[in-house]
Chains A and B, each alone.
Chain A
Amino acid sequence: MKPRSRVMTLVKKEFIQIRRDRRLLPILLIMPVLQLIILGYAVSSDIKHLATAVCDLDRSPSSRAFVDRFATSGYFDIRYRTVAEGQIKDLMDAGRVRVGIVIPPRFAARLARQETATVQLLLDGSDSNTANVAQGYVTQIVNAEAARIALERLGPKGVLPSTVDPTVRVWFNPDLKSVNFMVPGVIALILTIVTMTMTATAIVKEKERGTIEQLIVSPLHPYQLMLGKAIPFVIIGYADILIVVLAGLFWFRVPMAGSFALLLILSGLFIMTTLGLGLLISTVSQTQQQAMMLGFFANPPFMLLSGFIFPIASMPEPVQYLSYLIPLRYFLVIIRGIFLKGVGLEVLWPQALVLLLFGAGVLTLSALRFRKHLG
């Protein structure tokens, strides 16, 4: 047999095995869409509708007007109006509100006498992220209100200080839709799961069943064996790319600014790396369980440290260095660049080069290990 047809035979065998497991193929193809839905809708940085309790001890028209500023901002849902400050603490203990606003007695009187009126803000710090954002919103509202009152006090002869007047334009994703940000990321994530973990387990499965020996004594070269094992999952991986891109384009209306062909080609570079890692995992694990666990625990670092969700620039420095070792980091720049910015190789070549080196390195290393491992 020609080497090529030998590989093809193995690929065929692999596909028969995948198909025999009735659930595997559907889940591999449906999963990306489910992930896209969860990630596209759940991950959103705009924090709105914060459950809020208000304790208005003044109960004057001006304190009510002040509370209305919070209610109409859209950031705060005023769920409770309490009479005593202590009740806010109980509500927060029970997790019913995250924000408490206390307006002290004589709020209106102080304002009328041109004094400083104090407003108390109570925050549930157990979710520090939300607390930070809520604090920002409250500060903005209070500052705007303070500026308005200050202007009133100055009267008609008052001069407003001149200000820096920033205008902001958003490129690439003007509506700041998080789905636009997620679709490219999901492609990368799916490729990791399918090509890395699935390849690793497919090989380890043969080990567990003892059928690997048969493959070894067959006239297959180790590299043919590797290819035959990997090709089916590469094909499934590309099918997943197609599904995600189609779902992104037609369901989520994510624009595709760049070249689809370039996306497919550069995905190949990334697949080289994930396949290499998959093979590497297969050589260090004896059971599918071990391979799964390695794959399972390799996933979150990919997700969390690559810039997939959390910006790398905001991480502490040692973790930033660590992220250089994660190939997904480079692929994300590429895939988001093509999708959203519409840039090509002229911009993305450094990332492509790193991925190529990564892929070649990992693949060679694991191929060598794989050969020794079999021999």
Chain B
Amino acid sequence: MRSRIWPILRKEFLEIRRDPRSLAFVLAMPVLMLLLYGYGISSDVKRVPLAVYDRDGEARARELTRRLTSTGYFVVATRVGSLAELRRAIDRGQARVGLTIPEDFSRNLAAGRPAPVQFVVDGSDSNTASIAIGNIAAIGRSIELDPRDLRPEVSLRPARDNPAPLELRTWVWYNPELKSSNFLVPGLTAVILMMLAAILTSLTVAREWERGTMEGLIASPLRPYELMVGKILPYVLIGLVDVVLILLVGVFWFRVPLRGSLLLLMLSSTIFLLGGLGIGLFISAATRSVQVAFQFSILVTMLPALLLSGFFYPIENMPPLLRAITALVPARYFLVVIRGIFLKGVGLAVLWKELALLSLFAGLMLVASSAKFKKRLE
């Protein structure tokens, strides 16, 4: 039996070797993606371009703008002289937030009255907009002006005469500097592995169908599971090489701390990879063309792994139906595992449930694709 798997393994390796371009691609791409997205994706909304329409023109108004920009959340992209210009700047996307400071701003402050200012936010990017609104509210509150202090050069000063009644002490565990790469790199590993696994196998079988070589394999004395093992093993190996590459880049380039067990990490990556390969195999057994297999794998692996796994968007915030769907996304469990091992340094005692689910999923996928093959054979 072992000898029957061996030839198909060899055949698969030969095909991979015959196509060095694909192999190079599969090995280089994950690292490139990790580098690109490790830097490219930023969780915080900073440097939002601001258009300022300052009708006051006094020092206090300038101080307000300075306050807004000194937080790093806003940069002054343009100063405009009329409301129409403000509108145009936002229409063009030159600015996402417009600030209008009314003529009586300084006078109001000097008189000790609340000084209204108006912000206009471009809501077409709802994400940036809602974060910007939060920042505006926070900054607005923090700029408290002391009415007794009328000297213009020090006019904006937080009023703090009494001891603050409450003090907040924040401790951030696992990632004290809140480095986003510590958050992104483990997550990206899951996304990349899922995509890779699916694309690797979704095409191998579909290709055999397209070329008409599948019939040859079917006519051979191979059992379905032997065919599957032979098809999957080479890609498990390639996938593991990718895992190692990704881990090296994560640990040595992005300096993500690896606090847990490397062995457990490799083991769980292998289980996850098997599940991904299983999905790919199932897709490609179910569809006879490369193009359909490709569409399916984007739909079933890339989008869920990116969006429904909790990689970036917390699952708690999704509507109930979508939250229920995320229970079926294996990347969701792997993310808990990989973040747990990397950042929290936890082990099997905490992660056994997720690992059990991942193993169950991998097993189910492999059995299902095996069954799919069998049905095709009859």
Contact = CB atoms under 8 A, between A and B. Distances in A.
A292 B199 contact: yes
B91 to A, nearest CB: 5
A375 interface: no
Interface in B127-143: 127-131, 133-134, 136-141, 143
Interface in A322-358: 322, 333, 336-337, 339-341, 343, 347
Interface string A160-199: 0111111111111111111011000000000001000110
Interface stretch (B22-30, B265-273, B356-364): B22-30
Interface stretch (B218-226, B229-237, B247-255, B306-314): B306-314
Given A128-B179, A146-B166, A293-B29, A166 B140 contact: yes
A153 B313 CA distance: 42
A288 B292 CA distance: 12
B37 interface: yes
A310 B25 contact: no
Interface string B113-126: 11111111111111
A299 B317 contact: no
A77 B316 CA distance: 10
A124 interface: yes
Interface string A130-149: 11100110111011011001
Nearest to B191: A300
Contacts of A47: 314, 317
A124 B173 contact: yes
A316 B39 contact: yes
Contacts of B45: 311, 314
A44 B313 contact: yes
B21 to A, nearest CB: 6
B175 A38 contact: no
Contacts of B175: 125-126, 128, 131
Interface stretch (B2-10, B238-246, B336-344, B366-374): B336-344
B289 A24 contact: yes
Contacts of A289: 19, 22, 203, 207, 290
B294 A197 contact: yes
B112 interface: yes
Interface string A72-101: 000001000000000001001111000000
B178 A131 contact: yes
A150 B158 CA distance: 14
A314 B46 contact: yes
A319 B47 CA distance: 14
B70 interface: no
A163 B143 contact: yes
B105 to A, nearest CB: 8
Nearest to B195: A296
A24 to B, nearest CB: 5
A35 B312 contact: no
Contact of B130 (A129, A176, A322): A176
Interface in B261-280: none
Nearest to A149: B165
B131 A304 contact: no
B287 A23 contact: yes
Contact of B203 (A127, A171, A292): A292
B121 A168 contact: yes
Contacts of A64: none
A255 B226 CA distance: 55
Interface residues of A, number: 126
B101 to A, nearest CB: 9
Contact of B298 (A167, A170, A296): A296
Interface string A295-317: 11101110111010111011110
B59 interface: no
Contacts of B19: 286-287, 289-290
Given A124-B173, A170-B123, A146 B307 contact: no
A121 interface: yes
B322 A293 contact: no
B163 interface: yes
A296 B322 contact: no
A94 B350 contact: yes
Contacts of B115: 162-165
A303 B298 CA distance: 13
Q: Would you list the 10 A-B pairs with minimal beta carbon distance, nearest first?
A: A125-B175, A173-B123, A129-B43, A161-B159, A149-B165, A166-B140, A45-B127, A340-B124, A125-B172, A170-B123
9 contacts: A46-B317, A117-B165, A131-B172, A150-B164, A165-B140, A170-B133, A172-B123, A293-B22, A341-B91
Given A304-B41, A311-B128, A313-B46, 8 more contacts: A31-B295, A123-B171, A128-B182, A146-B166, A168-B133, A168-B136, A176-B130, A297-B33
Interface of A: 21, 23-24, 27-28, 31, 34-35, 38-39, 41-51, 77, 89, 92-95, 111, 114-132, 135-136, 138-140, 142-143, 145-146, 149-150, 153-154, 159, 161-178, 180-181, 193, 197-198, 201-202, 205, 208-209, 285-290, 292-297, 299-301, 303-305, 307, 309-311, 313-316, 318-319, 322, 333, 336-337, 339-341, 343, 347
Interface of B: 19, 21-22, 25-26, 29, 33, 36-37, 39-49, 64, 75, 88, 90-93, 96, 108-109, 112-131, 133-134, 136-141, 143-147, 159, 162-176, 178-180, 182-183, 195, 199, 203, 207, 210-211, 287-292, 294-299, 302-304, 306-308, 312-314, 316-319, 322, 336, 339-340, 342-344, 346, 350
